[in-house]
Amino acid sequence: MRIGRQLNMLLLALGAMFLQQTFAALGKSLPPVIAPAIVADLRLDPTWLGIYVALAASASLVFQLGCGSFIVRYGALRTSQVALAMLALGLVAASAGPLALFALSAVIGGGGAAVSTPASSHLLGRYSPPRYAPLVFSIKQTAVPAGLVLAGLLGPLLTEWSGWRGTLRIAAAGCFAFALMLEPLRKEFDADRIPERSFRLSDFRTTLTSVTRDRDLRALSLACFVFNGLQTVFTSYFVIYLTALGYSLAAAGFVFSVAMLVAVPGRILWGWLGSGHVAPRVVMGGLAFGMAASSALTGLYGPLWPVLLVGLIAAGLSVTAMSWHGVLLAETARLAPEGSRGTATGGVLSFGQIGALLMPLGYAFLLSVTGSHGIGFMACCLPALLVGIALVRPDGR
């Protein structure tokens, strides 16, 4: 009976966090996906997108560094609800239009999206058997490409139907509605919260030192820096890259969505491999090499390339740059001290947010100097290659 209840709780937690992450990914990725329509309507320079992404990444960094105490005090489920509400507010602010509100939306929405993953990791860490944690976390993290698929398919269609402002408001309503739907689960899933825990400014330093003082967690942090940075470049610039090559917004969104679909079975496969079949570090090293090769090939795109070839290379980038999360997060939860999974996850992901800040800014700089999207993607392959070499080295250096 006890085993049956544990399995039921695991499945319920997995389902709730899967949907939470789906809405979080949808809310975070929708503005970049429909960016061509926003850029055309407001007559903006395409490099503006890099600033928007950098602002979101900066906010994500701050929120992930400080979210550990809030998760412990208020519970992982309540934190998830707050994250979804923040995403909804950010989307509504962006729909108003002026650049100042776009900046505000990047901060609010980026912060909301950032805390969704540490919260879900904290919750699933309580119910997942350690041996199968990579698979469980990978299944949960398939919600991210699921949200990106929805953004790529529905974003352009809704934009044609209701305009980009209406599209952002529809997504905001969905995020807020699901936050309310989670409320009945709070009694069970937030039973481990410690109401006496208070937030302190020193929590920012504690979150960082929790991963930098441990060699294995430090290695995961550096891998997360590169992986998340490349992922952010891909999700932020791929659609606008294809429109620059002559694709319509709908066609570019369709190619993007099909590529994202490949990441769903990819995450499950890598999670299965990392659950006792192949060392998680080796799995991540192989993914890093795949990212480097796919990113370099993406940089070679041309207007005369067949759509099928463009899609195949995009799928290769998706199955690597969009599919590492479950293995890395499960390994982080395994190495974290008991009761500090949310803090350790926030620390590792904070380095990922630094990558999500710096790599898109570097991409935007190269775009402004050269006018070429391809050069930016080719530049991203080098850090992925170096991380891959470091991960497969026996000494981990």
Name the pLDDT band for 385 (thresholds 50, 70, 90). very high
Name the pLDDT band for 310 (thresholds 50, 70, 90). very high
As to burial, measured by CB atoms within 10 angstroms (0-12 exposed, 13-18 middle, 19+ buried), residue 251 is middle
Closest listed residue to residue 142, CA positions, set 56, 15, 51, 43: 15
Chain segment 245-290, per-residue pLDDT in tens? 988 888 888 898 888 888 888 888 888 887 777 888 889 999 999 9
Name the pLDDT band for 397 (thresholds 50, 70, 90). low
Chain segment 143-169, per-residue pLDDT in tens? 877 887 888 788 888 888 888 899 999
pLDDT score, position 204: 66
pLDDT score, position 312: 94
Task: Please report, for the domain that includes residue 62, its CATH number.
Answer: 1.20.1250.20
Q: Is 315 within a domain?
A: yes
Using the CB atoms, write b or e for 336-374: b if 16+ within 10 Å: beeebbbbbbbbbbbbbbbbbbbbbbbbbebbeeeeebb
pLDDT score, position 317: 93
- 306's torsion region: left (phi>0), alpha (psi -120 to 50) or beta? beta
Whole-angstrom CA distances from 107 to 114, 169, 232 are 10, 17, 16
Q: Is 314 within a domain?
A: yes
pLDDT-above-70 percentage for the chain: 91
* Residues 283/270, Cβ–Cβ less than 8 Å: yes
Q: Is 375 within a domain?
A: yes
Q: Is 136 within a domain?
A: yes
Q: Is 356 within a domain?
A: yes
87-96, 173-182, 197-206: least confidently modelled range: 197-206
Chain segment 202-235, per-residue pLDDT in tens? 666 666 666 777 777 888 888 999 998 999 899 8
pLDDT score, position 44: 75
pLDDT score, position 339: 59
Q: Give me the mean pLDDT over the 324-342 stretch.
A: 74
Q: Is 196 within a domain?
A: no
Q: Is 47 within a domain?
A: yes
Name the pLDDT band for 306 (thresholds 50, 70, 90). very high
Q: Is 397 within a domain?
A: no
pLDDT-above-90 percentage for the chain: 21
pLDDT score, position 166: 92
pLDDT score, position 307: 92
pLDDT score, position 138: 75
Q: What is the span of the domain harbouring residue 105?
A: 2-189+203-392
Using only C-alpha atoms, what is the Rg of the chain?
20
Closest listed residue to residue 332, CA positions, set 112, 36, 125: 125
* Residues 318/144, Cβ–Cβ less than 8 Å: no
Name the pLDDT band for 337 (thresholds 50, 70, 90). low
Closest listed residue to residue 136, CA positions, set 225, 15, 52, 22: 15
Name the pLDDT band for 179 (thresholds 50, 70, 90). very high
Average pLDDT of the chain, as a whole number? 83
pLDDT score, position 1: 46
Structurally, the chain folds into a number of domains equal to 1
Name the pLDDT band for 395 (thresholds 50, 70, 90). low
Chain segment 372-383, per-residue pLDDT in tens? 899 999 999 999
pLDDT tops 70 at residue 396: no
